């Protein structure tokens, strides 16, 4: 059975495992689509795509107005293995990264458990406010089980570890769903304390936010329908409509070297998969760690070529929150410790190993002084 990605309304809050309220935008979309739902279902048989994608595309269209719907039957042991076509250690530096002026962007402040102004504020509030994704399978998504719907994924487990360390309760979290393009503004405007959302550390972003040490290694790669003439991040992209999320590293890569492709920008990376299924784009560029989960959801698409960057995910925070950065780095030290029995490895085996096999350890931390 194929797993159906549902599109979550953005900007909502979840306190612990409670559902977020429906936004005015969501209500308007639901009202606008309710009358057309039956017509869309009738049109499903007339759509053509890859491997029965038409039915999924119609389902996405008719459910786009619903707030925070779960991924159907997305249990921890579902999904198909998606093998990485090449080791990311061999991936070249991204062409757009060559202009970076900082050195060792993955180097972060040394760990500490000393409370500062930011930690004191979080403790006084009694909640950690975390910006997350709620529609990235295996990373941050709504998991539908027999017990009900709850946030799940590799990133969600890390948020819980941070909350447990600071507040003594892994459920003392307010989850806020934010699109890719709003990750930095959400931190700068104080809407969230941390962003744990497959966010790549790079020099450009370090101008606006602070990062923890790296907690996962990924690389940019192309996702395309099976049978597509696209062979990777290469001249086969010419005249092809290539989708990416605004504010993502994929956007920067294509601005530097587009190979003659036609860019299609969306607010949320999962929207690219919906557009691909509807035949509105020819391919997607995104982190292969995210794309592996999408390929597990939809067996008609696959990763092609090799990763063409080597990137590292970090927990993002406000630039002035140095005490929080040091505290998160201490949490990550403990999270990595223990080898095969570490919390990091247990989270990897639970969430990511089925779709992104072959990872043997987290990236080693780098530190700087000052």
User: Are the C-beta atoms of residues 121 and 190 closer than 8 Å to each other?
Assistant: no
Residue 74: pLDDT over 80: no
Q: Which pTM does this prediction carry?
A: 0.73
Per the prediction, the chain carries an average pLDDT of: 79
Phi/psi at 221 (5° precision): -155, 165
Tokens matching residue 323:
């005490």
Residue 246: pLDDT over 50: yes
**Torsion from C-alpha of 245, 163, 107, 311, nearest 10 degrees:** -30
Q: In what order do the strands lie in the sheet with 311-318?
A: 13-15, 173-177, 128-132, 194-195, 311-318, 209-218
**How confident is the model at residue 294, as a pLDDT?**
85
Enumerate the H helices of 2-50 as residue ranges.
Answer: 24-34, 37-44
Mean pLDDT value of segment 276-290: 94
User: Are the C-beta atoms of residues 5 and 274 closer than 8 Å to each other?
Assistant: yes
Find all residues with CB under 8 Å of 195, minimum gap 6, and list them.
130, 131, 132, 178, 183, 186, 187, 209, 315, 316, 317
Residue 150: pLDDT over 50: yes
Which one is predicted more confidently, 312 or 22?
Answer: 312
Return the residue matching tokens 């048989």: 45
Euclidean distance between CA atoms 18 and 197, whole angstroms:
20
3-class DSSP state of 124: helix
Kindly report, residue by residue over 29-72, the tens digit of the pLDDT: 333 333 333 333 333 333 333 333 333 333 333 333 222 333 23
Q: Identify any residues that bridge with 109 across adjacent strands, giving them in sequence order.
A: 368
Kindly report, residue by residue over 88-124, the tens digit of the pLDDT: 444 444 444 434 568 899 999 999 999 999 999 999 9
Return the residue matching tokens 């040091």: 326
């Amino acid at each position: 059975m194929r797993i159906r990605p549902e599109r979550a309304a953005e900007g909502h809050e979840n306190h612990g495992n409670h559902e977020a309220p429906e936004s005015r935008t969501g209500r308007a979309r639901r009202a606008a689509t309710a009358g057309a739902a039956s017509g869309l279902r009738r049109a499903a048989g007339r759509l053509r795509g890859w491997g029965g994608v038409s039915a999924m595309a119609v389902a996405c269209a008719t459910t786009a107005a619903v707030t925070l719907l779960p991924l159907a039957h997305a249990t921890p042991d579902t999904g198909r293995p998606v093998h990485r076509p090449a080791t990311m250690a061999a991936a070249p530096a991204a062409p757009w990264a060559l202009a970076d002026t900082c050195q060792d962007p993955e180097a972060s402040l040394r760990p500490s458990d000393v409370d500062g102004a930011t930690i004191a504020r979080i403790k006084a509030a009694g909640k950690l406010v975390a910006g997350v994704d709620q529609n990235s399978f295996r990373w941050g998504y709504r998991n539908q089980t027999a017990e009900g719907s709850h946030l799940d994924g590799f990133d969600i487990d890390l948020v819980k570890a941070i909350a447990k360390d600071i507040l003594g309760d892994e459920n003392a979290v307010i989850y806020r769903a934010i699109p890719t393009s709003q990750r930095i503004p959400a931190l700068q405007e104080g809407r969230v304390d941390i962003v744990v959302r497959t966010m790549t550390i790079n020099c450009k972003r370090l101008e606006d936010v602070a990062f923890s040490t790296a907690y996962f290694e990924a690389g940019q790669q192309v996702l395309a329908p099976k049978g597509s003439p696209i062979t990777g991040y290469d001249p086969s992209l010419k005249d092809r409509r290539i989708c990416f999320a605004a504010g993502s590293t994929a956007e920067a890569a294509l601005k530097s070297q587009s190979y003659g492709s036609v860019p299609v920008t969306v607010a949320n990376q999962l929207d690219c998969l919906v557009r691909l299924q509807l035949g509105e784009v020819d391919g997607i560029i995104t982190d292969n760690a995210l794309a592996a989960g999408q390929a597990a959801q939809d067996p008609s698409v696959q990763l092609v070529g090799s990763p063409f960057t080597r990137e590292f995910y970090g927990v993002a925070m406000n630039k002035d929150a140095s005490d929080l950065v040091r505290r998160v780095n201490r949490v990550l030290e403990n999270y990595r410790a223990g080898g095969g029995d570490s919390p990091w490895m247990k989270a990897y085996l639970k969430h990511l190993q089925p779709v992104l096999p072959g990872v043997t350890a987290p990236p080693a931390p780098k530190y700087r002084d000052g």
